[in-house]
Amino acid sequence: MIDLPLLQKPYPLTADQVVQFREQGFLKVSNVFDAATLQYFEPEITRLTFAHNDLDGIPMEERDTYSRAFIQVGNLWEKSEAARRLTFSQRLAGMATELLGSSGVRLWHDQALYKEPSGGFTPWHADQQYWPMNSSLSVTAWIPLHAVPLEQGPLCFGRGSHRKRIGRDLPISDSSEALIQKEIQDQGVVEVIEPYELGDVSFHLGWTLHRAGPNTTVLPRKVHTVIYMDCNMQLSEPSNPNQSLDHEKWTPSTAVGEVMNDPLNPVLFAKESGYQGIC
């Protein structure tokens, strides 16, 4: 097995970066991984994504807006030891813990988000609309496996939108795009979009509004994501059908009011004891 030291080496976030994340609801960080690390994982993540692609063979023009936006495959860590190494990275989980200000983080799930050539835009939305969690202490690490220029559809964030309560009852759809776009304009929310350089990783809170443009290039946009939650996160009563589905899929043995201690939700980092510690 190839030694990839950056997977486990701590990344020293500055106090200013932590403050920026909590005020703006997102943070893009440079040089989290080097080229060698990304080149090691990209072929396997890509293989898994296309092997489990439910959209294979469906022409783009026959798909709905959600399906045109990306190929989505979850819990890759169960399908491959290489994917598990990336998802379970102490480097990433330690950063998530620091940004949330928690004593540790559990895995909610991972997923590949591949935007195909000619793939459509990803509508405005907030991730936690789908998640039956009893607090807002959730964060997604968005890990491009290559540099992502504006033409490939990097993330666009609504600065400070996690504090606005805009569109929290809207799943990803054409309606969420139109209604949230109007609200962020009316409320003066600044949209922030930048290309990602090789090795950049961004983190955004579960209630931070975000979208992505279409992929107008001839190459797929290849992204792996890991979603973390506070290690003491409890399951709340699902408030919509999507949350009920996510309860069944991502934490099936957890009852409402219990800490999400399902085998699918291992502790990935705890300040007291490090990797897979007790928090």
Looking at the DSSP bridge assignments, the partners of residue 158 are 191
Segment 61-70, tens digit of pLDDT? 999 999 999 9
In the prediction, which pLDDT does 279 show? 46
Distance CA(227)–CA(206), nearest Å, equals 9
Segment 138-175, tens digit of pLDDT? 999 999 999 999 999 999 999 999 999 999 999 999 99
Distance CA(212)–CA(154), nearest Å, equals 6
- pLDDT range class, residue 274, cuts 50, 70, 90: very low
Distance CA(9)–CA(50), nearest Å, equals 30
CATH of the domain at 163: 2.60.120.620
In the prediction, which pLDDT does 277 show? 38
Instruction: Decide: pTM greater than 0.75.
Output: yes
Q: Which amino acid is at 265?
A: N
In the prediction, which pLDDT does 2 show? 82
In the prediction, which pLDDT does 271 show? 87
Is 191 within the bounds of a domain?
Answer: yes
| 32 within 8 A of 209, measured Cβ to Cβ | no
| 195 within 8 A of 147, measured Cβ to Cβ | yes
Tokens of 184: 């962020």
The total of structural domains in the chain comes to: 1
As a whole-number percent, the residues of the chain with pLDDT over 90 amount to 94
DSSP per residue, 213-254: ----SSS-EEEEEEEEEETT-BBPPP-SHHHHHHHHHH-TTP
Residue identified by tokens 């399902």 is 262
Is 146 within the bounds of a domain?
Answer: yes
Q: Calculate the average pLDDT of the chain.
A: 95
Residue 210: which domain range? Answer: 16-231
Is 3 within the bounds of a domain?
Answer: no
Q: Which helix (H) or strand (E) covers residue 174, if one does?
A: helix 174-186
Is 39 within the bounds of a domain?
Answer: yes
Secondary structure (3-state) at 126: coil
Cα–Cα nearest to 176, from 69, 258, 79: 69
Is 238 within the bounds of a domain?
Answer: no
Cα–Cα nearest to 207, from 243, 157, 248: 157
Looking at the DSSP bridge assignments, the partners of residue 114 are 71, 222
Secondary structure (3-state) at 209: coil
Is 273 within the bounds of a domain?
Answer: no
Is 253 within the bounds of a domain?
Answer: no
Is 207 within the bounds of a domain?
Answer: yes
Residue identified by tokens 């409402």 is 256
